[in-house]
A and B are shown apart, each in its own frame.
Chain A
Amino acid sequence: MSQRSAGLRAYVSESYRWLWVAFGVAVLVLPAVGTNYFVGVFTQALIYGLLAISLDIALGYTGLLSLAPAAFFGIGAYSVAKVVVDWGVSYWLGFPLAVVVAAVVAVAIGYGPIKRRIGEVYFVLFTLAFGVLAHDATYVATSLTGGSNGLGYFSPPSMLGVDLGGTVPYYYVTVLVVGALGIGLYALLRSDYGSVLHATRQNELRMRYLGYDTDREKLVAWVLSAVTSALAGALFVGTVGLAAPSMMSFELSGEVIIWTVVGGTGTFVGPFIAAIVLHIVNNYLGNVWPEGYLIVLGVLFVGFVFLLPEGVMGAIRNRLR
């Protein structure tokens, strides 16, 4: 019996690998077969996938439910827009700027709550306040953010004779960045560091007895999550050419939470795939029945929290265990 299940597991993880290869090939050949419109949608879907991963690092691995992933997403978007529109320097400088600003803000916001161990419920409320604060700030700090008009319009530059402003070239840039970050983060979280985070989430006191500085580990994961969100935002702004307050909105944060929970918190792959699928569904359902998407999403979400709190990916893993 156990031999059979072991065989089954090996078979599944084998076909799993093939699934990933198939997915990778599909992603690479997509521009050749898909319409330009769909390539554009898929570009944004991949970026949202990265955003969902960033929340999963905080929520699924570290147990910190943040209601402000959109705030860091917006920081990334505004960094790039600021660099191009207001300062007129290279587009690519926006990315390191996004990382630095997001890291500094993340430490400033996260250090107090994590050091003082305010508990998960208070952390939720703390990030709620921070998220609304950041969103409001984009409207008032007009000299910095352009107020409700946002910062725009611009398009990504040319490189090596290729105009990255085009849908297909930018798609490949996105695939490259999301792929590299995704694989890098996956490797990091599969390493001992990921186990430390999982263990800390499950029994923090015990990890402290074992000599781990759990506050530091949580803060590092929190900053990592924020920086990933910011990079997603920096990539995203290239697809629309405008950094607007809506990128920092609570609605976006809410959607990210839904993707993450539906995909399965702490599974890394689940949130990524869920964000891609749900964004594509949103795009097509949004054309036929605009209000429908959020209703369907909400019902789906409540169903998941209630019946399948570990999400799709978590359920699959449990079944295989």
Chain B
Amino acid sequence: MDLTPLLTSDQIITYALNGFSNGMILFLVASGLTLIFGLIGLINFTHGAMVALGGYLTLVFVGVTGSFWLSLVAAIVVVSVFGLLLERTILHHLYEEPLLGFLATFGIHLVVEELLSFRFGDQSRSLTAPFPGSMDLLGVAYPKHRLLIIAIGFAVALVIGLVLTRTRLGLEIHATAIQPDTAEILGVNSRKVYTLTFVLGTALAALAGGLVGPITSITPGMGTSYMVQAFLVIIVGGMGSFKGSFVVSIIVGQITAFGWLILAPTYVELTVFVAAMAFILYKPRGFFGKPEVFE
């Protein structure tokens, strides 16, 4: 009997790397979302618009400066300032009212997305990768830009993980998430902590939007699909759990990368959604969520 393996080892490596690179983009989106949700309790629907804005601004700045990295940094800075202004002018008034907060961010999301489609049109754009071509890794040729995304994803996870666990700011974020009043009494400027977290989350969304440009297309609605997936990731990973968003993003990335071998891609997505609904019902704090972070 002739036994041909279902997958060659080259294919397995390629799929796994695809899973990692897609999972890392998802992680960049989801981690910002989970920090904002865990600390503030805000369902931040502007997040998807920030991803798209990051992508388009990178595109625009590349046209001006010609350098991808410079443009990416500039886009992140501009989007962060935009996030700062939003938080300071509108959103911080609505933290006590989760439903109104959601509705306001939903409206802002709509405005930004429509302005983008008004300015740039609905057809998709793409960016050229700063390091084009592929390189040899474990015997397979793999696009350099995707490897870069994996590296940046891990670096971001490491840096923010360290900030959250090893610094004064991380301590203040935890304290504010658990007991804002007590933290305030103990000298934490909770208002500043909220603003910082919101801006940090927004910056991560913009980073994801710019980074993903060379491997997928940039459209006004690109952020929405990432955001919806990211919401499911943070449900399963636990609202407010940074570690959870990292682990579950990679798992979802791998499931989508390998899952289509067994099922059509849409079915894979459906399965993930059903899993998320089951998690909301039976384990609303997810794998890693701590009960104190957000009730």
Contacts and interface: CB of A to CB of B under 8 A. Distances in A.
State yes or no: do A and B come from one complex: yes
A298 B232 contact: no
Contacts of B108: 298, 302
Contacts of A119: 284, 295
Interface stretch (A10-18, A126-134, A152-160, A171-179): A126-134
A294 B94 CA distance: 23
B64 interface: no
The bracket for how many chain B residues form the interface is 35 or more
A120 B273 CA distance: 19
Contacts of B273: 129, 132-133, 136
B124 to A, nearest CB: 17
A298 B231 contact: no
Contacts of B224: 250
A166 interface: no
A254 B105 CA distance: 12
Interface stretch (B157-165, B169-177, B189-197, B262-270): B262-270
A139 to B, nearest CB: 6
B202 to A, nearest CB: 17
B107 A302 contact: yes
Interface in B74-120: 90, 93-94, 97-100, 102-104, 106-111, 114-115, 117-118
Interface in A264-321: 291-292, 294-295, 297-299, 301-302, 305-306, 309
Contacts, number: 102
Interface in B234-265: 235, 264
B199 interface: no
Given A302-B90, A305-B104, A305-B107, A118 B284 contact: yes
A136 B273 CA distance: 10
Contact of A140 (B43, B270, B280): B270
B110 to A, nearest CB: 4
Given A257-B106, A302-B104, A295 B266 contact: no
B266 A139 contact: yes
A125 B107 contact: no
B100 A309 contact: yes
A129 B277 contact: yes
B180 to A, nearest CB: 17
A187 to B, nearest CB: 27
A129 B104 contact: no
B140 interface: no
A126 B266 contact: no
Interface in A28-68: 65
A137 B43 contact: no
B6 interface: no
B54 to A, nearest CB: 19
Interface in B276-295: 276-277, 280-281, 284, 295
B151 interface: no
A interface, size bucket: 35 or more
A320 B78 CA distance: 45
B281 A116 contact: yes
A65 B94 CA distance: 16
A294 B99 contact: no
A301 B115 contact: no
A291 B114 CA distance: 7
Given A132-B228, A298-B108, A121 B281 contact: no
A70 interface: no
A231 interface: no
Contacts of A250: 224, 228
A261 interface: yes
A83 interface: no
Contacts of A105: none
A212 interface: no
B41 interface: yes
A215 to B, nearest CB: 14
Given A258-B107, A305-B104, A122 B41 contact: no
A73 to B, nearest CB: 18
A297 B111 CA distance: 8
Nearest to A140: B266
B185 to A, nearest CB: 26
A122 B285 CA distance: 10
B274 interface: yes
A297 B110 contact: yes
17 contacts: A113-B281, A118-B280, A118-B281, A122-B280, A125-B280, A128-B228, A132-B273, A133-B273, A250-B224, A291-B114, A292-B118, A295-B118, A298-B108, A298-B110, A298-B111, A306-B94, A309-B97
Interface of B: 41, 43, 90, 93-94, 97-100, 102-104, 106-111, 114-115, 117-118, 224, 228, 231-232, 235, 264, 266-267, 269-270, 273-274, 276-277, 280-281, 284, 295
